[in-house]
Amino acid sequence: MRDGGALRPPNCQMARELFQERWKVCLTSKYSQAILGWKVSFTWDGPLQTVSQTITNRVKELRIALGWTQEQLAQAAGVSRQSINSIERDRYVPSLELALIFARIFSCPTDQIFQLESKS
């Protein structure tokens, strides 16, 4: 790593591949209490493409399959009935914590409850 006192980033295949994909990799060093650490940052130098995406869910379908009301699901999940209503109408995307709670309640993985879809 040291070459005449100068620090240089490690030579690795991954860095070369990232450069080929128009990624810029910046390695900086920070000397703290005799420990040398590297900070890595990545930036994209290629054209930006915006893809509009939305998260949809099956909460209402799964709740009805259990025979529960919105109030019952809200109590089981520890949220308000209004939150359940907003989630079911795709007005609100729940936190990761709430999504994991739903997964436990419905006994299925989160990706069977929530889907990421591209808008056309």
Query: Per-residue pLDDT for the chain (120 aa), expressed as one digit of tens each?
Result: 444 554 445 555 554 444 455 556 555 555 554 455 556 666 777 777 777 888 999 999 999 999 999 999 999 999 999 999 999 999 999 999 999 999 999 999 999 999 988 876
Interval 80-96: pLDDT, tens: 999 999 999 999 999 99
CATH superfamily of 53-118: lambda repressor-like DNA-binding domains (1.10.260.40)
What are the distances in angstroms from CA 18 to CA 13, 29, 45? Answer: 9, 20, 11
Crossing angle for the helix pair 96-106 and 59-66, to the nearest 10 degrees: 30
For every residue of 44-94, which 3-state class applies, written as one string? ECCCCCCCCEEEEECHHHHHHHHCCCHHHHHHHHCCCHHHHHHHHCCCCCC
User: What residue spans define the domains of the chain?
Assistant: 2-44, 53-118
Q: How far separated are the first and last CA of the chain, in Å rounded?
A: 49
